[in-house]
Amino acid sequence: MKSRDGWSALGDATSPMASLPPAGAGLGPDEPLTKLSDPLKVWSASVLIDDKPVEVYKVVHEGKQSTCYIEAVEGKEFKVEIKKGTFTATDYAAYLQLDGTEAGAFSIERSNTRPAAFTGKRVSATSIRPYSFAKIALTDDADIATKDEAVIKNLGTISIEIYRTSILGISAGNREYKDNAKQHVVDERSKKAKMSHSTSYGEAKYQPESGARDRIAWIDPWKSPCHTLAFRYRSRTLLELEDIVKPIVHATPPPNLLEPASSPAAGPSSRKRKTDVITISDDEDDDAVERGKQNKGGVKTEKKPKVRDEPLRMAVKKENGQTVIDLLD
């Protein structure tokens, strides 16, 4: 696999790798979908966190683009795997775009069906900066905020653009590297400010470049790919708010309304009498007691769920300047 400018391996991608199963293989009713494919299933791609493909949601095919949603996990590095599942009539070039910015590329021979992985942005012949998810960076300074329309439009998207090409041979030219990978800063007044995350890059890691460069002829014009696989990443909270995934429900046993809280020191005899102590200010004492007598022992309280059909019995008395209401069994 080789890049558009001829590099067989950009270092931000690795090949060969363990083969992925055919699209849809082994998917049972309870198994999550972890790959995004084109309608004809020629191409498939996955996003991996901790070397495990993440689940994809709400797959949509429209024209020359297939889209889905994935969960972004703040602070986690990720990789992107791509695979051509069959021999094809032409060669191809695959371009990885993170938030509208080019982050890696492969050139793929027509007979090549091995998967490969984009692992990071190449910044030298021997190192890459891995891709990661980060909390979105916002600013109220318009001079600092990104003005790149491609970034503003595609923030929150990991996409692979696939182009038809013809490999002409090997190129011997030298390649220049730029360590310009950075997280984009977004104007907090922008519509994109509601996003929770964006992509970023980790510290440089050692990963030597391998392979040779190719000379290629383009069949599809630049920025007019034959197909695009796009992963729209969001936080779990946003995915739930947008009804893309179901909220995670944690089962909590209901409180037992019939048993009062008891202290560890309480003995068996403490269960024989239920006592509620209600403190009433001095100027309300007489009225409260009188109301208790008129209501045959009842006091006016907030409405609570009815837990018994028995009439409530109680005794009202004075203790240490306070009114004590004893609830009797």
For the chain, the average pLDDT equals 77
Strand, coil or helix: 4: coil
Contacts made by residues 242-249, CB under 8 angstroms, sequence distance 24+:
244/57, 244/58, 244/69, 245/57, 245/69, 245/71
Average pLDDT over residues 202-226: 90
Q: Does the structure show a pLDDT above 70 at 53? A: yes
Provide the pLDDT confidence category of residue 30 given band limits of 50, 70 and 90. low
| pLDDT for res 88 | 94
* DSSP assigned state of 193: G
Rounded (10°) CA dihedral 197, 203, 204, 207: -70
Average pLDDT over residues 284-292: 46
Question: Where residue 76 falls among pLDDT bands split at 50, 70, 90?
Answer: very high
Task: Name which of 44, 51, 49, 4 is nearest 27 in CA terms.
Answer: 44
With bands split at pLDDT 50, 70 and 90, how would you rate the model's confidence at 142? confident
- The residue that leads in pLDDT, 162 or 195, is 162
Spatial contact of 158 and 223, defined as CB atoms under 8 Å apart: no
Model confidence at 237: pLDDT above 80: yes
Q: Each residue of 122-136: pLDDT tens digit? A: 999 899 999 999 998
Distance between CA 263 and CA 259 in Å, rounded? Answer: 12
Residue ranges of domains in the chain:
13-241, 268-328
Helices then strands, counting H and E runs in the chain, come out as 3, 22
